[in-house]
Amino acid sequence: MSAVLGVSVGTSAVRMATLSAPEHDENTVPGFERRAVEVVAGPVEDVAAQSIGVLLEHDGHADIGATGVAYGSGLHPDTMHDAMARQQLYNYHLVPEAAAVVALLESAGQLAPTDQTLVLYDLGSSGVTVTVVDRYSHTVLAQHRSDVAGGDRFDALVAEQQLRERGLTRPEDAWAAAEFIARCREAKEQLSTGTGAAVPGDGGLVLLNRERFEALVRVPLESSARLARDVIAASGRHPDVLVLLGGGVRIPLVPSLLQSWLGLRIILPPEPEMVAAQGAALLATPMAAPVPHESRPEQPEPDWADIASTSQARRGPSRRHLALAGAVAAGLVVVAAIGLALGGRDTGTTNQGESAVAEVTVPPRTTTRAPSTTTTTTPSSTSAAPAATTAPESTSDAPAPAPAPGPRFLNLPDPIRIEVPPNIQLPPGMIR
- Taking only the tens of pLDDT, the chain with its 432 residues reads 467 888 998 888 889 888 765 444 555 565 777 788 887 777 888 888 888 888 887 655 556 778 899 988 778 888 989 998 998 888 888 999 999 999 999 999 999 999 999 999 999 998 999 999 999 999 999 999 999 999 999 999 999 999 999 988 899 899 999 999 999 999 999 999 999 999 998 888 999 999 999 999 999 999 999 999 999 999 999 999 999 999 999 999 999 999 999 999 999 999 999 999 999 999 986 554 444 444 444 445 555 455 445 444 444 554 555 455 555 555 555 555 555 454 444 444 444 434 333 344 444 444 444 444 444 444 444 444 444 444 444 444 555 555 556 677 767 666 666 776 766 666 666 766
Residues near 21 by beta carbon (within 8 Å), at least 6 away in sequence: 31, 32, 33
CA proximity to 180, closest of 156, 154, 211: 156
**Long-range interactions of 77-84: CB distance < 8 A, separation 24+:** 79/43, 79/45, 80/9, 80/45, 80/48, 80/49, 82/45, 83/43, 83/45, 83/46, 83/48, 83/49, 84/49, 84/52
Q: The CATH number of 1-108+271-290 is which of 3.40.30.10, 3.50.50.60, 3.30.420.40, 3.40.50.2020?
A: 3.30.420.40
pLDDT of the residue at 88: 87
CA proximity to 246, closest of 432, 430, 15: 15
pLDDT of the residue at 358: 39
- List the strands of the sheet with 117-123, edge to edge: 140-146, 128-134, 117-123, 241-245, 265-267
- Please report, for the chain, the start and end positions of each structural domain, with discontinuous segments joined by +: 1-108+271-290
Question: Whole-prediction pTM value?
Answer: 0.64
What letter represents residue 73's amino acid?
A: S
Distance between CA atoms of residues 32 and 15, nearest Å: 12
Phi and psi at 5, nearest 5°, equal -115, 130
CA proximity to 15, closest of 46, 59, 64, 48: 48
Please tell me what DSSP assigns to residue 137. T
Phi and psi at 254, nearest 5°, equal -65, -55
Distance between CA atoms of residues 231 and 227, nearest Å: 6
Distance between CA atoms of residues 200 and 360, nearest Å: 137
Axis crossing angle, helix 97-107 with helix 275-282, rounded to the nearest 10: 80
- Both ends of the chain: CA-CA distance in Å? 91
Please tell me what DSSP assigns to residue 431. B
**Contact between residue 33 and residue 276 where contact means Cβ atoms under 8 Å apart:** no
Q: 104 to each of 129, 275, 317, how far by Cα in Å?
A: 19, 7, 80
- What is the number of alpha carbons within 13 Å of residue 177 lying toward its C-beta? 5
Number of neighbouring beta carbons within 10 Å of residue 299: 6
**Contact between residue 385 and residue 357 where contact means Cβ atoms under 8 Å apart:** no
Distance between CA atoms of residues 239 and 116, nearest Å: 8
Phi and psi at 349, nearest 5°, equal -115, 135
Phi and psi at 400, nearest 5°, equal -65, 140
